[in-house]
Amino acid sequence: MKPSVGHMIETRGLTKHFKDVRAVDGIDLTVARGELVALLGPNGAGKSTTLRMLTTLIPPTAGTATVAGFDVVRRQREVRQRIGYIGQGNGAGHSQRGRDELISQGRAYGMGVRPARARAAELIESLGLGEVADRKVATLSGGQRRRLDIAMGLIHAPELLFLDEPSTGLDPQNRANLQEHILRLRAEHGTTIVLTTHYLDEADSMAERVIVVDHGRVIADDSPARLKAEHVGDTILLGFDSEQETTAAAATLSGRDSHPYGKELRIRTQGGPRQVPGLLEDLRSAGLPAASVEVIRPTLDDVFLTLTGRSLREGGANADRQPAVELVEV
């Protein structure tokens, strides 16, 4: 019955087919204890299906997965006992009261009545649910319900927490709030956290490791910084007073990957900010002082674009207002 030491999650060729659809197509994944990992990808990429297999909700078509030391098919109860799961929906029944749901959730994990009650009170306090915990769940706002979901997932202080699209449908303030809670949880308890998201900024700011999933496969797996450096790099944008100067500057910097566009010179490079002073110096001594300079650091979307030729862009100019993800062919 002892869990194997070592990795928190380990999958080999994890696969899920729904009839003809290869939702997850052979994923090899290793997550160490204490990691905070984001699965990033467009809708339908296989993120949620992967999570549902890891949380024992659906059996894999092929391949194996070990979670918290136990096989997700043969040792479901042991896996369930050790993980917390916050799904896309609301975990609390709408006709129930939040506090009751928290206590019965604790009971479901084998906690005694009194410890469950105490733990529920503790979570209600720390998630700021004091005023609404004894109201019917149906009367709670979206943000309050989401915090209640988080509390439900944490009732048994799991060593591993899965969150499926945790901030979808939340306004920016609630999103920031939620992210803060997740990060605090990790800092205080060292909980291993695996979340799926299609919010680029969320993956970027929270996770120290991003696993990019597309068409049921892992196409990249690294820290946001390294993913960007490796797959995209920085762009230095130099502005000049005339097109002639731009062309001359491009000739001066012939050793570099530079492209003039009108009065603008785009230089693709690694470690952009560190290169700017030297670059400006070189141009000045060639009699071509730049009028403006801008360093554009890549986003994870640029990484996705480079990897797949498609953009993982959130609809509209203001991503916060339109949470729906949109796949744009370019």
| Binding residue (CB under 8 A) for other proteins from 2, 74, 77, 114 | 77
H/E segment holding residue 324: none
Q: Does 142 bind other proteins (CB under 8 A)?
A: no
> How big is the chain, counted in residues?
330
AA letter at 71: D
Tokens of residue 220, six digits: 């990249």
Q: Considering only the stretches 87-95, 178-186, 188-196, 263-271, report the one whose residues sit in contact with other proteins under the rule CB under 8 A.
A: 87-95
Tokens of residue 163, six digits: 């969150």
Q: Does 80 bind other proteins (CB under 8 A)?
A: yes
CB atoms under 10 Å from CB of 195, counted, come to 25
Q: Which of residues 282-311 bind other proteins (CB under 8 A)?
A: none
| Binding residue (CB under 8 A) for other proteins from 55, 144, 177, 235 | 55
Q: Does 96 bind other proteins (CB under 8 A)?
A: yes
In whole angstroms, the minimum distance from the beta carbon of 19 to other proteins comes to 11
Rounded distance between C-alpha atoms, residue 56 and residue 71, angstroms:
9
User: Which of these, 57, 40, 48, 31, lies nearest to 227 by C-alpha position?
Assistant: 40
Residue number, 58 or 293, with CB nearest to other proteins: 58
Q: Considering only the stretches 51-59, 201-209, 214-222, 311-319, report the one whose residues sit in contact with other proteins under the rule CB under 8 A.
A: 51-59
The pattern of x and - marking residues 105 through 124 that bind other proteins according to CB under 8 A reads x-xxxx--------------
Q: Does 135 bind other proteins (CB under 8 A)?
A: no
List helix spans (H) across the chain: 47-54, 76-82, 98-108, 113-126, 142-154, 172-189, 200-206, 224-231, 243-252, 272-285, 300-308
Residue number, 109 or 229, with CB nearest to other proteins: 109
Residue number, 90 or 197, with CB nearest to other proteins: 90
In whole angstroms, the minimum distance from the beta carbon of 89 to other proteins comes to 2
Residue number, 72 or 312, with CB nearest to other proteins: 72
Q: Considering only the stretches 55-63, 187-195, 209-217, 259-267, report the one whose residues sit in contact with other proteins under the rule CB under 8 A.
A: 55-63
In whole angstroms, the minimum distance from the beta carbon of 138 to other proteins comes to 9
Rounded distance between C-alpha atoms, residue 166 and residue 282, angstroms:
49
Residue number, 152 or 220, with CB nearest to other proteins: 152
Cross-strand pairs, 49: none
| Binding residue (CB under 8 A) for other proteins from 58, 176, 229, 319 | 58
Q: Considering only the stretches 96-104, 229-237, 265-273, 288-296, report the one whose residues sit in contact with other proteins under the rule CB under 8 A.
A: 96-104
Give, in order, the Cα–Cα distances in Å from 192 to each of 122, 163, 245, 318. 21, 11, 54, 31
Residues 201, 204, 207, 212: is their CA dihedral positive or negative?
Answer: positive
> Number of residues in contact with other proteins, rule: CB under 8 A?
34
Q: Does 101 bind other proteins (CB under 8 A)?
A: yes
* Integer Rg of the chain from CA: 24
Q: Does 100 bind other proteins (CB under 8 A)?
A: yes
Tokens of residue 246, six digits: 């731009």
3-class secondary-structure state, position 128: coil
User: Which of these, 47, 54, 43, lies nearest to 11 by C-alpha position?
Assistant: 54
| Binding residue (CB under 8 A) for other proteins from 72, 152, 203, 249 | 152
How far is C-alpha 50 from the chain's CA centre?
Answer: 14
Query: What residues make contact with other proteins under the rule CB under 8 A?
Result: 18, 52, 55-59, 77, 80-81, 83, 85, 87-97, 100-101, 104-105, 107-110, 136, 149, 152
